[in-house]
Amino acid sequence: MPALLATTALLLTAACSSGGGDGGSAGGGGTTSASPSKQAAGQAPPAKGSVEVVRTVATGLNTPWGLAALPGDGGLLVASRDKGTITRVDERTGAKTELGTVSGVSPSGEGGLLGIALSPGYASDHMVYAYFTSASDNRIVRVLYDPKKPAGEQLGAPDTIFKGIPKGTIHNGGRIAFGPDGMLYAGTGETGDRGLAQDTKSLGGKILRLTPEGDPAPGNPFPDSPVYSYGHRNVQGLAWDPRQRLFASEFGQDTWDELNAIKPGGDYGWPNAEGRSSDGTYQNPVAQWHTDDASPSGIAYAEGSVWMAGLKGQRLWRIPLKGTEASADPQSFLTGTYGRLRTVVAAGGDRLWLTTSNTDGRGSPKGGDDRILELRVR
């Protein structure tokens, strides 16, 4: 029965219109409006790519985590993990306007105000979704953004749509994104309690799939459950390719970090498997890295590849794809140049937004940190 339900969920997801998501708006690699390309037709991109830093968009950000691009030239919304605030950055001038504080955020360790994403109906409802650590759990809320109000007062009271995700000093997950099917996906962590990842009744160590109102999404692989996939240690990045296939990045422990192609109902192995495994029970990663080289965070899809930000690895990884497999070896860029890299978001075509993460307590901040960069990639 679970296999049948998983197949049904996959078919339902694949059948959804790609217009359901808000193009490029989800924090950390949301959906993007992809024009027809060789990659969309299933051909692999070149084995070797390139990255050009076009400019520094903004500096002086405090523990930036989630990033969401407003429609048109509306700017970029940035969530501060430790301050619990959302700031609008003018992507043309770099000017910053603090919208306000998301009430209820209780920062501690790796927890705080994490991923943000725009409502699929943002053009009419002006809702911003946020995943954060409260005093008792990790939860997802939505807040009204009203730019007509004075700076610092532009966020409405949070409306909690989903709660009860386990919290910890580490492994709080936190990435959220609306998929091409219009559903809200959330990556969670197992908080250091390994057993949660394999327990399909627990919300820890999972990818969740919810309606915009916070209910388990129709077609999920487990009846009346928000759980979409399990066996994860700490999911940090979510992104879709033009064929609506979901990819996710996650931290390993001591050996292997992973980029995974996500299947409904799939078991990704933790804590029984880390990286590739000969046990057919578990889904093997698309690519894996030693933890010193990656410690991955956000991901985005552009130009036929998944682009993955590395924290401890202090580099941006390019993983060229053919279908749900790597078509060539991953290639790294910007190694050590900007320090820890947290979030990468598709900005349309061959452009990406990339944030650094040197003020998160584990980096060595330099003048101007943290910052947002605009990249041109191939």
> Mean pLDDT for each 10-residue chunk of the chain (378 residues)?
38 35 35 47 90 98 98 96 98 97 98 98 98 98 98 98 98 98 98 98 99 98 98 98 98 97 98 98 98 98 98 98 98 98 98 98 97 98
Q: Contact, 230 vs 22, CB < 8 A?
A: no
What is the per-residue pLDDT for 73? Answer: 87
What is the per-residue pLDDT for 14? Answer: 36
Alpha carbon distance 221, 231 (integer Å): 14
Number of other residues whose CB lies within 10 A of the CB of residue 224: 7
Q: Is the dihedral of CA 31, 295, 165, 82 positive or negative?
A: negative
User: Among 367, 361, 311, which Cα is nearest to 339's?
Assistant: 311
Architecture of the domain spanning 2-13+24-377:
6 Propeller (2.120)
What is the per-residue pLDDT for 324? Answer: 97
Q: Which amino acid does the sequence have at 349?
A: G
User: Among 155, 184, 25, 149, which Cα is nearest to 83's?
Assistant: 155
What is the per-residue pLDDT for 292? Answer: 97
Q: Contact, 109 vs 170, CB < 8 A?
A: yes
What is the per-residue pLDDT for 3? Answer: 38
Q: For the chain, state the CA radius of gyration.
A: 18
What is the per-residue pLDDT for 104? Answer: 98
CA distances from 57 to 25, 95, 280, 301 (A): 17, 9, 45, 20
Q: Contact, 232 vs 206, CB < 8 A?
A: yes
What is the per-residue pLDDT for 268? Answer: 98
Q: At a CB cut-off of 8 Å and minimum separation 6, what does 182 contact?
A: 16, 20, 21, 120, 212
What is the per-residue pLDDT for 35? Answer: 41
DSSP collapsed to 3 states, the chain: CHHHHHHHHHHHHHHCCHHHCCCCCCCCCCCCCCCCCCCCCCCCCCCCCCEEEEEEEECCCCCEEEEEECCCCCCEEEEECCCCEEEEECCCCCCEEEEEECCCCCCECCECEEEEEECCCHHHHCEEEEEEECCCCEEEEEEEECCCCCCCCCECCCEEEEEEECCCCCCCCCCEEECCCCCEEEECECCCCCHHHHCCCCCCCCEEEECCCCCECCCCCCCCCCEEEECCCEEEEEEECCCCCEEEEECCCCCEEEEEECCCCCECCCCCCCCCCCCCCCCCCCEEEEHHHCCEEEEEEECCEEEEEECCCCCEEEEEEECCEECCCCEEECCCCCCCEEEEEECCCCEEEEEECCCCCCCCCCCCCCCEEEEEEC
Residue 206 tokens read as: 């999972």
Alpha carbon distance 87, 77 (integer Å): 6
